[in-house]
Amino acid sequence: MANVEESRFQVRFWGVRGSYPTPGPQTLRHGGNTSCVEIRAGKHILIFDAGSGIIGLGSALMQRIGKQAACDVSLFITHGHGDHLVGFPFFSPLFDPRTNLHLFGPQLAGHNIEDLIVPLMSPPYFPVDVRQLPSQRTFHTIVDDQCISWPQGKPDPSVVPTVEALPSRSADVPRVLTRFTTSHPLNGAIIYRVEYKGHSVVYATDVEWSNGIEPSLLEFIDGADLLIHDAQYTTPDYQNEKQGFGHSTVFMATEVARMARVKELILFHHEPTYDDDQLDMMEADARVHFAHTRSACEGMEIDLLA
């Protein structure tokens, strides 16, 4: 079983929408839940954003662990907007004493990640106070250019400046690199890069490259096996009324993928007013500019070590 775990670098999409959940017959194929991506790197469970998709993920995690003695999970938040946090109070592992949850996220508007998260799940906004739940929770406020890694054989992560991290991308334990961008108003967001056994995934949602991507961020993304990138708008919608909203067009996403020499692009953070047919057309358009492109769908799984 341990060998099976070590040979897994699996990405699963639990929520792919932006702005707000959109359940209904028009979103059945792509899904209507907001941002949540799970990455299983060896035995480590890494979750990116806590949109409404994290609710289904939480239930699945509880089923997976069964009678295990512990459930170690790391949750990485990109920024503080509601569509990326709305599912957190309904994340089942929070209510289980076996859960050891590490939460990572940026300081925004002078508030650390604990200050941003706790009010979501405490009175008067929520009837249950997260501070009284039986799970173990540790908050880590992340700044630019940090590296989160797991010492061999230990469940708890460590955080160091990237310049102090090991240079190898082929380590047998995952590491998560961070890069802060101000391209999402008004306070910015974190782009995450996960590296494990010589492969890499970049999670770059809620970004807008109206003047082109900064060279430092392009370097950060460079060579990734998988780029999950904001592609909320069509170019006409963007030009007519969406400029400055902090989200990219399909063309912006494909340009980043091409310039950064990634192997595959996943279009993400879908506009809630676009139905499945519209997203299919956007995927087809993206492939004209970057052939190895797919549109994110709930339930999609990609194993980089398969």
**How many angstroms separate the first and last alpha carbons of the chain?**
16
Which residues form the domain of 236? Answer: 2-303
pLDDT for the residue numbered 165 = 78
pLDDT for the residue numbered 207 = 97
What mean pLDDT is predicted for residues 48-53?
98
Residue 155 C-beta-side C-alpha neighbours within 13 Å: 13
pLDDT top residue among 45 and 185: 45
- Counting the structural domains of the chain, the total is 1
Q: Kindly state the percentage of the chain with pLDDT values over 90.
A: 87
Helices of type H across 159-268? 215-221, 235-237, 250-259
Do the beta carbons of residue 105 and residue 76 sit within 8 Å?
Answer: yes
What mean pLDDT is predicted for residues 216-223?
97
Q: Is the pLDDT of residue 82 over 80?
A: yes
pLDDT for the residue numbered 253 = 98
Q: What is the pLDDT of residues 226-254, one digit of tens each?
A: 999 999 999 999 999 999 999 999 999 99
Q: What is the pLDDT of residues 153-210, one digit of tens each?
A: 688 999 999 888 765 555 788 999 999 999 988 889 999 999 999 999 999 999 999 8
Cis peptide before 116 (omega within 30 of 0): no
Q: Is the pLDDT of residue 96 over 80?
A: yes
pLDDT for the residue numbered 152 = 78
Q: What is the pLDDT of residues 4-39, one digit of tens each?
A: 666 899 999 999 999 999 999 999 999 999 999 999
pLDDT for the residue numbered 1 = 40
pLDDT for the residue numbered 219 = 97
- Which residue do the tokens 């063309």 mark? 251
Do the beta carbons of residue 282 and residue 288 sit within 8 Å?
Answer: no
d(CA 107, CA 142) in angstroms, rounded, equals 7
Q: Is the pLDDT of residue 260 over 50?
A: yes
d(CA 290, CA 270) in angstroms, rounded, equals 18
pLDDT for the residue numbered 24 = 95
Q: What is the pLDDT of residues 98-109, one digit of tens each?
A: 999 999 999 999
Q: Kindly state the percentage of the chain with pLDDT values over 70.
A: 96
pLDDT for the residue numbered 3 = 57
Look up residue 67 and give its DSSP letter: T
Q: What mean pLDDT value characterizes the chain?
A: 94
Give the range with max mean pLDDT: 64-73, 160-169, 273-282. 273-282
C-alpha distance from residue 17 to each of 7, 84, 124, 147 (Å): 30, 10, 28, 28
CATH code at position 219? 3.60.15.10
Enclosing H/E stretch for 100: strand 99-106
pLDDT for the residue numbered 2 = 46
Label residue 178 exposed, middle or buried (CB < 10 Å: 0-12, 13-18, 19+). Answer: buried
Q: Is the pLDDT of residue 306 over 90?
A: no
